[in-house]
Amino acid sequence: MITKRIIKGLHWLLPNRCLWCTLPAHQPQQQLCTACQNALPEFDMVFYHGNLLWLPAVQRGLPKLQADRLVSLSWYQQPWKLAITQWKFNQDLAAGQWLLSCFAQLAHNYQEAGFPLPDLLTYIPMPRKRQRQRGFNQAELLAKTLAEVWQRPVVALLSRKQLDKQQLNLHRSARLRNLRRAFQVSESEQHLLRQTESIALVDDVITTGSTMRFACKALKQAGASNIQLWTLAITESAAR
């Protein structure tokens, strides 16, 4: 078994490099140095009362989400953008570990502030071919992180039809066409939804809001009454 003393010794000899500035991290298993960690741009949860939909800048860009609450770490900016890209497209496990730990802290802060917790969690599914290529669904891992903090179940409520084109780099109008009727909820899961007061729907990034919008629409049509949206980041284009 590796002891804390050995870990500290290894860190002293070969320290982790900060994901953002690449200088040595100050503590073992730390993915960002203390300076970069303290300088992270984040939404102020107390300021927005645990619901970003109260912010006019967000509300203007995402008027048709059909959701009741939105929680996120930050705008889609550096160093979040770098870490998310490295995790999703380069399978950078260190970046993924750091993002999951930040998401867990967000969930803990939300609970400590006394905001309403969902009864169960679900996530945006990935096309099977893409998930096989990547090896994981980042939205599912984020949902499981929330579930671990809150001790709530995770249920794969949504299934996804094969899209004609990938959403990446598509404009808003193209995303909307691509996602119409893309999500569906099975009859067995519809029964569960009708018995559940509140659910949280998780994805990694909200870009134009189209993915979340159509996923929420499918959940509402299946019987969901109250939907929270949880994401790592929101692109500023979604707020225009």
Instruction: DSSP for 139-160, please give it.
Output: HHHHHHHHHHHHT--B---EEE
Mean pLDDT computed over 146-163: 90
Of the chain, the percentage scoring pLDDT greater than 70 comes to: 83
Q: Does position 177 have pLDDT exceeding 80, yes or no?
A: no
Using pLDDT thresholds of 50, 70 and 90, give the confidence band for residue 45. very high
Count Cβ atoms within 10 A of the Cβ of residue 208 and give its class: 0-12 exposed, 13-18 middle, 19 or more buried. buried
Distances (CA, A) of 161 to 7, 14, 24, 79, 114: 46, 46, 44, 33, 37
Distances (CA, A) of 75 to 51, 128, 238: 14, 28, 10
- Least confident range of 121-125, 183-187, 225-229: 183-187
- The full set of domain ranges for the chain reads 1-39, 41-239
The one-letter amino acid at 110: Y
* CB-facing half-sphere around the CA of 8: CA atoms within 13 A: 3
Q: Does position 9 have pLDDT exceeding 60, yes or no?
A: no
Q: Considering the chain, what is the average pLDDT of its residues?
A: 86
CA torsion 58→62→67→70, rounded to 10°? -30
Of 194 and 4, more confident: 194
Quote the pLDDT of residue 220.
93
Domain spanning 41-239, CATH class: alpha beta
Of the chain, the percentage scoring pLDDT greater than 90 comes to: 54
Mean pLDDT computed over 48-71: 88
Quote the pLDDT of residue 227.
97
Of 176 and 54, more confident: 54
Using the CB atoms, write b or e for 72-98: b if 16+ within 10 Å: bbbbbeebbbebbebbbeeebeebbeb
Q: Does position 12 have pLDDT exceeding 60, yes or no?
A: no
Rounded to two decimals, what is the model's pTM? 0.86
At residue 174's C-alpha, the angle toward residues 231 and 221, to 5°, is 60
Q: Does position 95 have pLDDT exceeding 90, yes or no?
A: yes
Q: Does position 141 have pLDDT exceeding 90, yes or no?
A: yes
